Chain A
């Protein structure tokens, strides 16, 4: 039975006793927390569409985690690339939006103001737009509605 040891006060840095086998190429994990991921989700869906679909089709073939490692690495690399690009081009807007999400229970609707500046920046710099599949035609998408019913108490 091992006891819990706090890694920040450990005398030696943590080393993985069972790393991935050497024949699997190394890919750095994205290491982004939930709020930035939620902020970037729709751009991720647009930017990495092909890799994501490829990976999910592969998973549909076989649920074995060893079966789609190559496709999975591509997905992670693409996501890392997108986050890097976002931070290079729209760092200020990105930070504003995900900090707002952190403060608002990770709901989109209280954070429309920073979201719009982020969307504008992403469209101008990277040409990516936020599109919600399946939203009704001929209406403004929910993130573009000027006066929504659901808002925060303080505007």
Chain B
């Protein structure tokens, strides 16, 4: 007989128990670490950047127009000055050309130096100039 008659005398055996501190929690939850901002955030950020960019482009276009206006007017203001200077030179060349023509054609009777070949008083610039 192995079994003792006395119940107070126990055999040396180990009861299977949970580890100290208890079992760790069962991993039933999904493990999804943070992978950066959400799609909505990225979309919002891209939209914001694009909106700012287009705003700047619009401002730039308006500004470009004004810069062009400034450039054009700076040239318009200089037109009379440059035209006056060019006119003096053109007039000098014309007078000299008529003088040359007079000298060359002095023996031809009835020749009118400097006369236009057109029957119209409208001014036409010379077809060719003598570079002097």
A interface list, Cβ under 8 A from B = 16-21, 24, 27, 29-30, 37-38, 41-42, 44-45, 48, 51-52, 55-56, 59, 62-69, 71-73, 75-76, 79, 107-109, 132-136, 141-143, 145, 148-150
Contacts and interface: CB of A to CB of B under 8 A. Distances in A.
Top 6 closest pairs, chain A to chain B, by CB: A72-B84, A45-B77, A18-B96, A142-B66, A65-B87, A41-B74
B83 A42 contact: no
Contact of A149 (B63, B77, B83, B96): B63
Nearest to B77: A45
Contact of A19 (B71, B81, B85, B92): B92
Contacts of B66: 132, 135-136, 141-142
Interface string B35-70: 000000000000000000000100110011011011
- Chain B residues touching A, majority SS: helix
5 contacts: A41-B74, A44-B78, A64-B123, A132-B66, A142-B63
B88 interface: yes
A114 B95 CA distance: 45
Interface of B: 56, 59-60, 63-64, 66-67, 69-71, 73-81, 83-88, 90-96, 99, 122-123, 132
